[in-house]
Amino acid sequence: MSITKLDQILEAVKAKPKKRLVAAYANDEHTIEAVYKAIEANIVEATLVGDEQTIEHVCKQHGFDVSKFQIVQQADEQKAGFCAVALINEGKGDILMKGLLSTDKYMRSILNKETGLMPAGSKAVLSHVTVLETPNYPKLILCSDVAIIPAPDLAQKIAMTNYLIQTAKALGINQPKVAILAATEQMLVGMQACTDAAIISKMADRGQIKGAYIDGPLSLDAALDKESASIKKLTGQVAGDADCLLFPNIEAGNIFYKSNTKLANAELGAMVMGAKVPCILTSRGDSAKSKMYSIALAALTAK
């Protein structure tokens, strides 16, 4: 049975062996609150890398039992990122989480050629997968990429499509419906998003990308709204009923994600895929609830 609400991820994780999360520069109350609630919900164990005095102060303010955490002292933002990654590489964690450090420093810690989390000798693509629950759609929406790759090329889009499929299957969606988005559902050869979408769709038809229904190019309305798809005379498994959205660039993805969270009261879970372990990457402005959902999503997909 597929997961259709973010709360259901929390229940699904409890059936799996417990993972250890390592939070990098976990000095902020949203991160600490999310991790604490995840511990209380029996989802993960946790190590917080950051300034111990600040962490203890936040815990005291909110009535959190600080003994629930293992704390590793590192007051410098970038060094905290490197330290958290080192703990993962030492086998002392299964999930990495971004705390208060900036995204560029978080990614620098992951991508470091000597000490980072990229598989050895790998040309893996790091990509961000977001799972959105919005009141105006009957199921979860998985989308990529809203945070990391500014202008993905065809090879990156293929990797991103596979990450969406992997995440959807972890949510119990056996044959996810993936929409490769463009500004139009028409096949316009002068628009790169359209040609990339057509190639990826044909690769799926030929079995080069497996485990999903894939269609594109599709406009956003044609992907998510059955009436729009019908008016435009679009048929197939994906049109009007997509599970997954692959955006043509980061601007489109980021605006979609923030429009949903800020104007439609959507909640989300999000992570980076392609590294040795799931890496949680939410905005510093995201709620503690969204960060907890991200922890659950990462725990569900962690090996």
* Per-residue model confidence as pLDDT tens for the chain (303 residues): 789 999 999 999 988 899 999 999 999 988 999 999 999 999 999 999 999 999 999 999 999 999 999 999 999 999 999 999 999 999 999 999 999 998 899 999 999 988 999 987 657 899 999 999 999 999 999 999 999 999 999 999 999 999 999 999 999 999 999 999 999 999 999 999 999 999 999 999 999 999 999 999 999 999 999 999 999 999 999 999 999 999 999 999 999 999 999 999 999 999 999 999 999 987 766 777 888 899 999 999 998
The total domain count for the chain is: 2
According to DSSP, the residues that pair with 46 across neighbouring strands are: 21
Q: What is the largest CA-CA distance in the chain?
A: 61
Looking at residue 284, its pLDDT comes to 64
Domain that holds residue 218: 125-273
Looking at residue 122, its pLDDT comes to 59
Looking at residue 224, its pLDDT comes to 97
Asked whether residue 5 falls in the same domain as residue 103, the answer is yes
Asked whether residue 289 falls in the same domain as residue 255, the answer is no
CA 283 to chain centre: 11
Q: Which two tokens stand for residue 255?
A: 């605006």
Looking at residue 303, its pLDDT comes to 85
Looking at residue 116, its pLDDT comes to 93
CATH number at residue 245: 3.40.718.10
Asked whether residue 84 falls in the same domain as residue 153, the answer is no
0.85 exceeded by the pTM? yes
- Reported as type and span, the H/E element at residue 21 is strand 19-24
Asked whether residue 221 falls in the same domain as residue 145, the answer is yes
Asked whether residue 290 falls in the same domain as residue 250, the answer is no
Looking at residue 283, its pLDDT comes to 72
Asked whether residue 21 falls in the same domain as residue 75, the answer is yes
By DSSP bridging, strand 127-133 and strand 141-144 are: antiparallel
Chain position carrying tokens 């065809």: 154
Please provide the average confidence, as pLDDT, over all residues in the chain.
94
Asked whether residue 150 falls in the same domain as residue 74, the answer is no
Asked whether residue 171 falls in the same domain as residue 223, the answer is yes
Report the phi/psi class of residue 104: left, alpha or beta, with left for phi > 0 and alpha for psi in -120 to 50: alpha
Q: Strand 177-181: give its sheet, edge to edge.
A: 70-73, 44-50, 19-24, 95-98, 279-280, 267-273, 127-133, 141-144, 244-246, 177-181, 213-218
Asked whether residue 168 falls in the same domain as residue 94, the answer is no
Looking at residue 282, its pLDDT comes to 78
Asked whether residue 72 falls in the same domain as residue 53, the answer is yes
Chain position carrying tokens 């990457």: 281
Asked whether residue 110 falls in the same domain as residue 199, the answer is no
Looking at residue 121, its pLDDT comes to 62
CATH number at residue 6: 3.40.50.10950
Q: How far apart are CA 25 and CA 79, in angstroms?
A: 9
Asked whether residue 266 falls in the same domain as residue 282, the answer is no
Chain position carrying tokens 């994906």: 238
Looking at residue 194, its pLDDT comes to 97
CA angle, corner 212, sides to 208 and 217, nearest 5? 80
Q: How far apart are CA 273 and CA 268, in angstroms?
A: 16
Q: How far apart are CA 59 and CA 15, in angstroms?
A: 28
Sign of the alpha-carbon dihedral angle for 170, 172, 173, 174: positive
Query: What 3-state DSSP class applies to 243?
Result: coil
